[in-house]
Amino acid sequence: MQFPGAQAPTRDHDLDVGGVRIAVHEWGDETAPPLFLVHGGFDFARTYDEFAPRLARAGWRVIAWDQRGHGDSEHAALYGWDADIRDAIGVMSHVTSKAAPVVGHSKGGALMIQLADAQPFRFSHLVNLDGLPSKRPMSDLADHERSRMMSSDIAGWLDHRRTTATAMRKPGTLEELAQRRGKMNPRLPIEWLRHLVTAGGRLDADGWRWKLDPSMRMGGFGPWRPEWTATRLPGLGMPFLGVLAGQQEPMGWGTLPHQIQPFLPAGGRLEVLPDQGHFVHIEQPALVAQMVIEFLEHGK
């Protein structure tokens, strides 16, 4: 079901990254300079179906990939924040050895802050779409307390993975899946939600079901806390643009401008869209795409 303005990728291919098959999607001229898009948790690359073509028309080769367990990528035995970063490195290294602009939404934006801190040579610019950490840095903890917290996180995560190892996502009609997604994205039009089902779901004999691995859960990306990302943000050296949604919704992070402003890197910009929800690039694709294009042209 095609949404007006949405465009399927120009090219699709699979890439083996450390033994996991990662689905890669591209828009635009293959000879144009690369620009990477990174989707959020419980999402997939095709959530950029309207946003990515706008960047491609501005002269970019836009590359996005489905993270492991999401979209058309392979389900993995285990998931973790670091595994997602390794997958990102695999895709980016396959495309180019030069610095390139990267745009990340939600979890994808936080992932890219961590990667940009560890391997800044990969980034010419970094744009974060409502994926900014919302908590202050943790106070110092004794090593044994930190280890106990980590142990508890890992144990709970593995228990969940074990109980969902053979689970399947609940089937339904296309309309039912769109309505379910609407509970998490109440500001998105039903037409777009239907499009998401056809792009991020599959039609089985018993109905439509999301392709997402049922073992994935909100916040279930392995041991990670927003504070760990917040402490990396100030040290980034590449041009940085943060776009913050003003309207709160279930899949958002709840970050307020005054909470993130002190963490911005030197020269970094924060743009607040007071009337937009978490999926800023879907609610206002033309506005956000133009912000990104202008930032890439002038955000030196």
Q: Which helix (H) or strand (E) holds 271?
A: strand 269-273
Please answer whether residues 268 and 236 qualify as being in contact, where contact means their C-beta atoms are separated by less than 8 angstroms.
yes
Domain that holds residue 81: 11-142+221-298
What's the structural domain count of the chain? 1
Confirm whether 203 is domain-assigned.
no
Any domain includes 209: no
The answer to whether residue 164 is domain-embedded is: no
Q: What CATH number corresponds to the domain at position 254?
A: 3.40.50.1820
What pLDDT score does 300 carry?
47
In a domain, 260, yes or no: yes
Q: Minimum mean pLDDT among 64-73, 81-90, 157-166, 259-268: which range? A: 157-166
The set of long-range contacts for 192-196, using a CB threshold of 8 Å and a minimum separation of 24, is 192/3, 192/6, 192/282, 194/1, 194/3, 195/1, 195/2, 195/3, 195/6, 195/49, 196/46, 196/47
User: What is the DSSP code (8-state) at residue 121?
Assistant: G
CB 70 within 8 A of CB 105: no
- Note whether residue 215 is domain-resident: no
Predicted confidence (pLDDT) per residue in 183-214, tens digit: 989 999 999 999 999 999 999 999 999 999 98
Residue 67 φ then ψ, to 5°? -65, 155
Q: Token match 């294009």: residue?
A: 293
- 139: confidence class by pLDDT, cuts 50, 70, 90: very low
Residue 157 lies in a domain: no
Determine the distance from the C-alpha atom of residue 256 to the mean position of all C-alpha atoms in its chain, rounded to a whole number: 19
Cα–Cα dist 102/123, whole Å: 7
Report if residue 278 sits inside a domain. yes
Calculate what percentage of the chain has a pLDDT beyond 90: 73
Reported as a single tens digit per residue, the pLDDT across 229-247 is 888 999 999 999 999 999 9
- Considering only residues 124 and 299, tell me which one the structure prediction assigns the higher pLDDT: 124
Task: Please check whether residue 17 lies inside any domain of the structure.
Answer: yes
The per-residue pLDDT for 138 is: 45
